[in-house]
Amino acid sequence: MKSELFLPIRSSKDLPETLKNTPFEVLLRSQNMEEMFEKFERAQILIGMCMDNRKQFRLPENFAYILRTGGGSLRHSEFKVSYAIGVGGVRHIALIAHNHCGMVHVADRREAFVAGLVENAGWDRAKAEEHFIQLAPLFEIGNEVDFVLSEAKRIRERYPKVMVVPFYYKVEDNQLYVIDEKKA
Ligand SMILES: [Zn+2]
């Protein structure tokens, strides 16, 4: 994967013009530059991100609705997305992919999944196998970058007045990168 696909945002001068004076700027300055912000009166953004335990973002108080799912997929969270927009008044959605995501090629984790459910949850093996076979395809994301870009496209079509921006988070440096969609 080409590294220039991910634009590092280390200081305000790295911010793309399109993201300036938007909640995405606050997100990037808060997480990447460790800036502190005043508490917000109401939510500014919806953040869709993976349930992965290695991700904890620094965010201002009251700033964001956060939906955490396997791989950050919002395919099965549509009512919650609509709620954040319709009731919460959110006009901006950040979709955050990350590296080393467990939902990439989740199909390969069948044995660990089954053995773990038997050991940790007390399931019988056949039931665990069936559970995996039924549900794994719904959560498989294939390639995390292709997936987040397709999610962004899908959500833009569904909610045309909402600004949707895909990001990439690297577990190692705890930084959010803007994905250059033109290079993808
Ligand atoms: Zn993940």
Ligand 1 center to 29 CA (angstroms)? 23
Is 151 within 8 Å of 166 (Cβ atoms)?
Answer: yes
Give the dihedral of Cα atoms 106, 8, 77, 137; nearest 10 deg. -20
Is 61 within 8 Å of 83 (Cβ atoms)?
Answer: no
- Which residues line ion ligand 1, judged by CB < 5 Å? 50, 52, 101
Ligand 1 center to 66 CA (angstroms)? 15
Rounded to two decimals, what is the model's pTM? 0.93
Q: Over the stretch 137-174, which tens digit does the pLDDT of each residue have?
A: 989 999 999 999 999 999 999 999 999 999 999 999 99
Ligand 1 center to 21 CA (angstroms)? 29
Domains located in the chain, CATH noted = 3-102+142-183 (3.40.1050.10), 105-140 (no CATH)
Sign of CA dihedral 12, 18, 20, 181: negative
When computed from its CA atoms, the radius of gyration of the chain, rounded to whole angstroms, is: 18
Q: Over the stretch 65-120, which tens digit does the pLDDT of each residue have?
A: 999 999 999 999 999 999 999 999 999 999 999 999 999 999 999 999 999 999 99
> Nearest 5°: phi and psi at 90?
-75, 135
User: How far is the CA of 108 from the CAs of 7, 147, 169, in angstroms?
Assistant: 30, 18, 23
35: left (phi over 0), alpha (psi -120 to 50) or beta: beta
Ligand 1 center to 103 CA (angstroms)? 6
